[in-house]
């Protein structure tokens, strides 16, 4: 519950978190901490991730077969567990991204009616 | 899979995550302690995270079902009266079903605890009706056919032996078996070894195997029992093993205690193993099919062996069938044992099962009714849930879960009740002249049955409310101020209840009629005139077989004992007979009457009995012509006979039979002279009635009879005489066993065990259903009154008589009841035909019985409705109208 601390940050709804995770993993396998950092960095710190909520989201994605879970080595050669995108997850990412784009455009049209 | 691995690593992942975050913050220059604090805050609640993650993996419907269950338990605890009523109703219905099914399973369905029961067969023969039987040489011939049979064994049906104890001689139920009996059947021994072919040789040391029950009863489950010697029929016998619990032979209902090798019969009948002269109907031959052999293949072989056997000249007398049909050898399935008990009880048990099923329906109707009423009361709650998004399916599932929970509680309690019930029934049938000994502990099949009907019951009575109560119109329901919202009760809800009650009443009429018919049958059987005087008659078995007492002295013993008892004043008269009335003992043989019109052999078969002179006087059987036996008719005097009226009429018509000579078919001895005719008396059981009977003096039988029954007409109570009887017998004759002391009433009762069971149980079930229907009717009428409270109040206020109010209410009840009774009578007329075979002297559509049943239901229904009606008439109109 770190809402009070950060003023500029916007909280994420559950469904969108799944989407962002998929997108992050598209760039390569990562562990929990790396995913959280990537999302914050990638959004220029606008999006604040409640770090604990990553894990239920990750497991939901594993259960649906879009993310898989395996071992690997980290930068400093420690064995750690990594989450990676599956082929199905890759496809799902495209579908979801498309849906998100359409949604964002529709809302934008309402909020800012076309000039001219 | 993924799930397992992912969850296993979860703790470590989270730890790594936080550690990395801490490392990052330290790298940015934050102090280690502060870094850790910040990292933990940034992460959030670790426990909650772990829980949430795990929750992702739980199956959704399990979670929902658990939720439903918790809610259901809460709901039921909030209405303890309702819950108790429902659970009790269900327990009674399910319990009754389980109890009867236990009996059904034990007698009709159960397969024997032997290896591969489906490959075991009885070797049988016959023309129209096949029955097992044989003699030892025949067994050997079947055994020789190893091409079709993997093993062949035989046994003699249960009889009794005398076992010597310190207190005296007691009888035990025994079985004699061929040496390979246990091996062929595949029965395990709990202790020691089984009998082997080696033990089954004439001259081998006498050994025995005892049953688990006998081991408990006599030896206190002593683990060292193998090797102990007991005296059986006067001969020392070594116990070599104890059979495992659960096996009680191949005759359901009999439970032999001591099993001996068949070779012991050579001690009484030296040529038993080789003689072709006798065919034993009570020696079933059991065969196990060889692997890969089909039953009809083996049956054809058996037929061949039988025909071959009969073609030999010395065996040609076998199965000389008077009707001329072809005698075939065949196989009968032995997996469930012999048929005797099954044949006797199958139909009765089926009827009882149908009855308890009906009782359960009646109970379910009550429960459904209660649930519907309660559903209406919960309309508001359901409306609230519906309005926040619960789908109709979800609500229905919730209600169904409650119903199933109620059903499970009812089923559990019912199982306990059934235990008590079955125990009682088992105890009742296990006493008497021919005890039926059953193992009625709940086994897998009974439990499966109970579980199945419990779930079905829950679904059946839960379906109606689940459908009806979830048709919720949220707005009106939410706006309704009280429980009674007369504006929009679901139509299904309030018209179903009277229909249910009418159905209950119909079923009650059916049950009451059935019970009435069975009770009248019992009454008819018990009071039928049996041709002798059954009052104050004591019966005792005197057994001199295989004792030191010479059997030729038995008639003299009878006379001496009778004289002593009469002299002492304990009895008015006493006599002995080989085949006492109302017992199944006795033989029939064809009779030859020179000079009578010729009749085919099977029309000349008469029942034979051997009696002492006082027999007819003691039993109160009148002498119609000539004389009864007396002291002149001794062993050395001329052979005489007394016949009963039926025999006289059949053979002699209107001619006088006194003085005529008769003899038995193919009998080599001298013929008998008829000296008297006596009145008819029922011989074996009331249903069979009178048989043509010829009596001969006990003193004149050529093969001395070791087991006789003494009948004594007593002055005082049976108990007084019973005590002194053993002492008297011991004084007169050492070694003779006094057994089975009972009154004639008890003897007759033991022939009517089945009828008594049917009458009692059907009445109990009928009353149970009646009670449930009354409750149901009471509930419906009360509900009706509560719905019309305002109406009634207005009427009373306008000056209506209270009596009229009562009549108004009763009228509804009357309509429902009459509809139910009409339907019930129709069903009865159609259905009671199934009872016809069990009835005696009363038809299945007996008008009197049906009328009484209908009247009983009408009275009961009116009584049940009266109370609510009366209460309705007593309401204060002001109170009701003001409350509006």
Per-residue model confidence as pLDDT tens digits over A61-81: 888 888 888 777 666 656 567
CB neighbour burial string for B76-104, b if at least 16 within 10 angstroms, e if fewer: beeeeebbebbbbbbbbbbbbbbbbbbbb
Number of structural domains, chain A?
Answer: 1
Residues facing residue B640 across a β-bridge: B673
Token couple for A115: 């000039």
Residues B552 and B409 in one domain: no
The ipTM is: 0.81
Give tens-digit pLDDT for B649-671: 999 888 899 999 998 877 778 89
Residue B605 within any structural domain of the chain: yes
Dihedral in degrees, nearest 10, Cα atoms B711, B712, B716, B720: -70
Whole-number percent of chain B with pLDDT over 70: 95
Q: How far is CA B651 from CA B573, B601, B656, B682, in A?
A: 32, 13, 11, 19
CA–CA gap between residue B796 and residue B880 (Å, rounded): 11
Determine contact: B12 vs chain A, CB below 8 A. Answer: yes
Is the CB of A51 less than 8 angstroms away from the CB of B3?
no
Residues B498 and B636 in one domain: no
Residues B674 and B566 in one domain: yes
Which of A38, A78, A81 to mutate to probe the B interface, most B CBs <10 Å? Answer: A81
Residues B700 and B755 in one domain: no
Contact B154, B262 (CB under 8 A): yes
Mean pLDDT for B700-713 is: 88
Contact B680, B644 (CB under 8 A): yes
- What pLDDT score was predicted for residue B803? 85
Residue B742 within any structural domain of the chain: no
Residue B478 within any structural domain of the chain: yes
Residue B681 within any structural domain of the chain: yes
pLDDT band at B289 (very low <50, low <70, confident <90, very high): very high
Asked if the model's pLDDT at residue B298 lies above 70, the reply is yes
Chain centroid, CA B215 distance in Å: 26
Asked if the model's pLDDT at residue B719 lies above 50, the reply is yes
Count Cβ atoms within 10 A of the Cβ of residue B326 and give its class: 0-12 exposed, 13-18 middle, 19 or more buried.
exposed
Residue B248 within any structural domain of the chain: yes
Residue B98 within any structural domain of the chain: yes
- What pLDDT score was predicted for residue B482? 44
Contact B273, B202 (CB under 8 A): yes
Residues B473 and B429 in one domain: yes
Residue A98 within any structural domain of the chain: yes
Q: Is B555 helix (H, G, I), strand (E, B) or coil?
A: helix
Mean pLDDT for A32-39 is: 86
Final residue of a structural domain among B287, B312, B335: B335
Contact B284, B291 (CB under 8 A): no
Give tens-digit pLDDT for B158-216: 788 888 876 677 888 999 999 999 999 999 899 899 999 888 888 888 999 999 999 99
Whole-number percent of chain B with pLDDT over 90: 41
Mean pLDDT for B735-741 is: 84
- What pLDDT score was predicted for residue A73? 66
pLDDT band at B492 (very low <50, low <70, confident <90, very high): very low
Residues B466 and B448 in one domain: yes
Q: Is B68 helix (H, G, I), strand (E, B) or coil?
A: helix
Is the CB of B6 less than 8 angstroms away from the CB of A69?
yes
Is the CB of B44 less than 8 angstroms away from the CB of A36?
no
Domain that holds residue A36: 10-111
Show residues of chain B in contact with A68, CB under 8 Å: 2
- What pLDDT score was predicted for residue A5? 44
Final residue of a structural domain among B335, B362, B395: B335
Residues B730 and B847 in one domain: no
Min Cα distance B386 → chain A (Å) is 26
Determine contact: A19 vs chain B, CB below 8 A. Answer: no
Mean pLDDT for B762-789 is: 88
- What pLDDT score was predicted for residue B846? 92
CA–CA gap between residue B838 and residue B78 (Å, rounded): 49
Give tens-digit pLDDT for B445-483: 999 999 999 999 999 888 877 877 766 665 565 555 444
HEC profile for B739-806?
EEEEEHHHHHHHHCHHHHHHHHHHHHHHHHHHHHHHHHHHHHHHHHHHHCHHHHHHHHHCCCCHHHHH
Residue A101 within any structural domain of the chain: yes
Residue A1 within any structural domain of the chain: no
Top-confidence residue, B108 or B281: B108
Residues B618 and B731 in one domain: yes
CB A86: neighbour CB atoms within 10 A? 16
Give tens-digit pLDDT for B335-361: 998 888 898 899 999 999 999 999 999
CA angle B365, B369, B371 (to 5 degrees): 120
| Closest C-alpha among B502, B407, B381 to residue B461 | B407
Show residues of chain A in contact with B16, CB under 8 Å: 31-33, 80-81
- What pLDDT score was predicted for residue B750? 86
Residue B866 within any structural domain of the chain: yes
Asked if the model's pLDDT at residue B105 lies above 50, the reply is yes
Which of B24, B53, B55 to mutate to probe the A interface, most A CBs <10 Å? Answer: B53
Residue B805 within any structural domain of the chain: yes
Mean pLDDT for A13-30 is: 84
Is the CB of B21 less than 8 angstroms away from the CB of A56?
no
Interfacial A residues in 28-87 facing B (CB < 8 Å)? 31-34, 36-37, 50-53, 55-56, 58-60, 62-63, 68-69, 80-81
CA–CA gap between residue B588 and residue B694 (Å, rounded): 10
Token couple for B368: 């459904």
Helices (H) and strands (E) in chain A, counts: 4, 4
Mean pLDDT for A57-63 is: 87
Give tens-digit pLDDT for B43-99: 888 888 888 888 887 777 788 888 889 999 998 898 888 899 899 999 999 999 999
Asked if the model's pLDDT at residue B383 lies above 60, the reply is yes
Q: Is B351 helix (H, G, I), strand (E, B) or coil?
A: helix
Domain that holds residue B10: 2-57
Output DSSP code: residue B589: E
Is the CB of A55 less than 8 angstroms away from the CB of B48?
no
CA–CA gap between residue B106 and residue B754 (Å, rounded): 15
Residues B707 and B766 in one domain: no
Q: Is B680 helix (H, G, I), strand (E, B) or coil?
A: coil
Contacts 24+ apart (CB under 8 A), B64-72: B64/B394, B64/B397, B65/B401, B68/B397, B68/B398, B68/B401, B69/B401, B69/B405, B71/B398, B71/B401, B72/B398, B72/B401, B72/B402, B72/B405
Give tens-digit pLDDT for B221-256: 889 889 889 999 888 999 999 999 888 889 888 889
Number of structural domains, chain B?
Answer: 5
Asked if the model's pLDDT at residue B2 lies above 80, the reply is no
Residue A100 within any structural domain of the chain: yes
Residues 6+ apart with CB under 8 A from B437: B248, B253, B254, B255, B430
Contact B96, B359 (CB under 8 A): yes
- What pLDDT score was predicted for residue B373? 78
Residue A76 within any structural domain of the chain: yes
Asked if the model's pLDDT at residue B7 lies above 80, the reply is no
Lookup result for tokens 């069990």: B838
pTM of the model: 0.78
pLDDT band at B288 (very low <50, low <70, confident <90, very high): very high
- What pLDDT score was predicted for residue B813? 87
Show residues of chain B in contact with A47, CB under 8 Å: none
Backbone phi, psi, residue B566, to 5°: -65, -40
Residue A14 within any structural domain of the chain: yes
Q: Report the CATH number that the domain containing residue A28 is assigned in CATH.
A: 1.10.10.10
- What pLDDT score was predicted for residue B274? 86
Final residue of a structural domain among B21, B42, B57: B57
Q: How far is CA B704 from CA B238, B447, B491, B511, B545, in A?
A: 30, 53, 82, 53, 10
Q: How far is CA B294 from CA B117, B118, B185, B286, B429, in A?
A: 14, 11, 18, 16, 38
- What pLDDT score was predicted for residue A32? 85
Token couple for A53: 């909520």
Residues B325 and B358 in one domain: no
Indicate the helix (H) or strand (E) that contains B673.
strand B672-678
Token couple for B50: 């772990």
Do the bridges between strand A67-73 and strand B571-577 make them parallel or antiparallel, or are there none, so unpaired? unpaired
Determine contact: A10 vs chain B, CB below 8 A. Answer: no
Residues B523 and B587 in one domain: no
Is the CB of B42 less than 8 angstroms away from the CB of A1?
no
CA–CA gap between residue B260 and residue B156 (Å, rounded): 10
Token couple for B863: 């009584």
Contact B398, B523 (CB under 8 A): no
- What pLDDT score was predicted for residue A2? 42
Which of A62, A75, A83 to mutate to probe the B interface, most B CBs <10 Å? Answer: A62
- What pLDDT score was predicted for residue A75? 61
Residues B287 and B393 in one domain: no
Min Cα distance B37 → chain A (Å) is 12
Contact B697, B613 (CB under 8 A): yes
Mean pLDDT for B862-882 is: 84
Show residues of chain A in contact with B56, CB under 8 Å: 56, 59-60, 63
Lookup result for tokens 């006979």: B641
CA–CA gap between residue B589 and residue B562 (Å, rounded): 30
Residue A4 within any structural domain of the chain: no
CA angle B148, B133, B207 (to 5 degrees): 90
Asked if the model's pLDDT at residue B880 lies above 70, the reply is yes
């Amino acid at each position: 519950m770190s809402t009070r601390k950060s003023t500029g940050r916007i909280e994420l709804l559950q469904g969108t978190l799944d989407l962002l995770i998929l997108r992050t993993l598209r760039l390569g396998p990562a562990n929990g901490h790396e995913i959280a950092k990537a999302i914050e960095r990638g959004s220029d710190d606008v999006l604040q991730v409640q770090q604990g909520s990553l894990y239920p989201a990750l497991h939901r994605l594993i259960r649906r077969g879009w993310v898989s879970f395996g071992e690997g080595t980290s930068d400093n050669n420690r064995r750690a567990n990594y989450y990676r995108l599956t082929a199905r997850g890759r496809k799902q990412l495209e579908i979801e991204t498309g849906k998100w784009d359409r949604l964002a455009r529709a809302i934008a049209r309402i909020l800012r009616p076309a000039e001219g | 899979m993924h799930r397992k691995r992912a969850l296993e690593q979860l703790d470590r992942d989270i730890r790594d995550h936080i550690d990395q975050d801490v490392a990052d913050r330290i790298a940015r220059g934050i102090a280690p302690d502060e870094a850790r604090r910040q990292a933990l805050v940034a992460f959030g609640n670790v426990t909650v995270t772990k829980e949430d993650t795990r929750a992702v993996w739980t199956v959704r419907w399990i979670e929902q079902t658990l939720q439903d269950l918790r809610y259901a338990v809460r709901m039921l605890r909030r209405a303890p009266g309702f819950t108790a009523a429902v659970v009790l109703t269900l327990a009674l219905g399910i319990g009754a079903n389980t109890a009867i099914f236990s009996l059904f399973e034990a007698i009709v369905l159960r397969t024997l605890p032997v290896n591969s029961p489906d490959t075991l067969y009885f070797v049988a023969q016959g023309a129209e009706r096949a029955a097992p039987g044989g003699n030892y040489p025949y067994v050997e011939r079947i055994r020789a056919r190893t091409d079709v049979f993997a093993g062949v064994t035989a046994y003699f049906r249960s009889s009794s032996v005398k076992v010597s104890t310190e207190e005296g001689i007691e009888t035990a139920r025994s079985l004699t078996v061929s040496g390979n009996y246990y091996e062929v059947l595949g029965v395990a021994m709990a202790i020691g070894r089984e009998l082997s072919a080696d033990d089954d040789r004439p001259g081998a040391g006498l050994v025995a195997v005892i049953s688990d029950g006998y081991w408990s009863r006599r030896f206190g489950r002593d683990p060292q029992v193998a090797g102990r010697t007991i005296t059986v029929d006067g001969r020392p016998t070594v116990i070599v093993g104890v059979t495992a619990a659960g096996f009680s032979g191949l005759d359901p209902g009999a439970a032999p205690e001591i099993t001996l090798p068949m070779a012991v019969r050579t001690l009484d009948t030296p040529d038993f193993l080789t003689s072709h002269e006798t065919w034993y109907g009570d020696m079933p031959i059991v065969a196990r099919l060889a692997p890969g052999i089909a039953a009809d293949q083996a049956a054809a072989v058996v037929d061949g062996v039988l025909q071959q056997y009969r073609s030999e000249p010395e065996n040609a007398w076998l199965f000389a069938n008077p009707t001329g049909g072809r005698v075939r050898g065949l196989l009968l399935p032995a997996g469930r044992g012999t048929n005797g008990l099954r044949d006797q009880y199958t139909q009765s048990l089926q009827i009882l099962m149908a009855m308890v099923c009906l009782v359960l329906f009646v109970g379910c109707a009550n429960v459904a009714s209660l649930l519907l009423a309660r559903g209406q009361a919960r309309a508001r709650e359901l409306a609230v849930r519906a309005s926040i998004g619960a789908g109709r399916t979800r609500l229905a599932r919730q209600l169904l879960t409650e119903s199933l929970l109620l059903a499970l509680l009812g089923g559990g309690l019912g199982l306990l009740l059934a235990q008590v019930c079955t125990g009682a029934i088992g105890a009742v049938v296990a006493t008497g002249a021919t005890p039926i000994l059953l193992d009625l502990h709940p086994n897998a099949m009974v439990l499966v049955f109970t579980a199945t009907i419990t779930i079905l019951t829950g679904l059946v009575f839960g379906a109606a409310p689940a459908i009806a109560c979830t048709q919720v119109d949220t707005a009106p329901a939410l706006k309704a101020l009280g429980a009674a919202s007369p504006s929009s009760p679901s139509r299904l809800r309030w018209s179903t209840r009277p229909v249910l009650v009418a159905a209950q009443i119909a079923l009650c009429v059916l049950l009451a009629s059935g019970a009435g018919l069975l009770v009248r049958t019992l009454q008819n059987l018990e009071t039928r005139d049996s041709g002798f005087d059954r009052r104050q008659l004591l019966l005792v078995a005197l057994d001199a077989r295989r004792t030191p007492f010479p059997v030729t002295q038995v008639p003299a013993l009878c006379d001496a004992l009778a004289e002593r008892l009469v002299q002492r004043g304990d009895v008015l008269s006493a006599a002995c007979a080989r085949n006492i009335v109302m017992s199944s003992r006795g033989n029939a043989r064809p009779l030859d009457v020179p000079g009578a019109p010729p009749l085919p052999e099977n029309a000349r078969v008469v029942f034979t009995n051997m009696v002492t002179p006082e027999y007819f006087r003691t039993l109160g059987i009148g002498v119609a012509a000539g004389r009864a036996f007396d002291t002149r008719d001794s062993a050395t005097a001329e052979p005489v006979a007394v016949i009963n009226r039926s025999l006289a009429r059949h053979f002699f018509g209107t001619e006088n039979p006194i003085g005529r000579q008769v003899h038995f078919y193919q009998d080599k001895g001298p013929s008998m002279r008829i000296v008297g005719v006596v009145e008819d008396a029922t011989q074996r059981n009331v249903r069979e009635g009178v048989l043509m009977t010829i009596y001969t003096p006990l003193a004149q039988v050529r093969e001395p009879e070791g087991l006789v029954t003494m009948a004594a007409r007593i002055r005082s109570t049976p108990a007084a005489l019973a005590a002194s009887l053993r002492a008297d017998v011991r004084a007169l004759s050492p070694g003779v066993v006094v057994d089975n002391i009972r009154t004639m009433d008890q003897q007759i009762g033991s022939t009517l065990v089945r009828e008594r069971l049917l009458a009692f149980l059907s009445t109990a079930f009928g009353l149970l259903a009646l009670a449930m229907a009354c409750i149901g009717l009471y509930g419906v009428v009360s509900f009706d009154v509560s719905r019309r409270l305002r109406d009634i109040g207005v009427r009373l206020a306008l000056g209506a008589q209270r009596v009229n109010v009562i009549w108004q209410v009763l009228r509804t009840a009357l309509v429902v009841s009459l509809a139910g009774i009409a339907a019930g009578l129709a069903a009865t007329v159609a259905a009671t035909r199934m009872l016809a075979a069990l009835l005696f002297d009363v038809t299945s559509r007996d008008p009197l019985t049906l009328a009484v049943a209908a009247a009983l239901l009408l009275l009961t229904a009116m009584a049940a409705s009266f109370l609510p009606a009366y209460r309705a008439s007593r309401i204060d109109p002001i109170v009701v109208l003001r409350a509006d």
